[in-house]
Amino acid sequence: MPMFLNTEGNASVAIFVCDRCKMKRAIDEAMPDPNFPGLRVCQQGCADQKDPYRLPARKTERIALRFPRPDQPLTEYAVAYTTYGGYDNGSILTDPGFGD
């Protein structure tokens, strides 16, 4: 027995068949499925939620220093001098340019 669809007051009188539940519905209830846009489904619970794995990948963040300075080579200033004897009895002296 055919089902009567009351399309009174709708913008169009057309009907469609839902690709999921195979029920006749008014064309105003038709929508593309979010995961498979080729499917026309009704809004009565046949539409899937958008799959998050189908979303585009997140953009990477731009992580950079705001005012970068060039690196100073460590070998230039890491020279230590050891003195023996004298009044300081073997103290370690560093290069006077260390820490500029």
Contacts of 90 (CB under 8 A, 6+ apart): 82, 83, 84
**Rounded (5°) CA angle 38-44-47:** 35
- What predicted TM-score, i.e. pTM, was given to this entire model? 0.48
In terms of Cβ atoms closer than 10 Å to its own Cβ (0-12, 13-18, 19+), residue 41 is: buried
- Tens of each residue's pLDDT in the chain, 100 residues: 566 777 778 788 888 899 999 988 888 889 998 888 888 999 888 888 888 888 888 888 888 878 777 776 656 555 555 555 555 555 555 555 555 4
Compute φ and ψ for 76, nearest 5 degrees. -70, -35
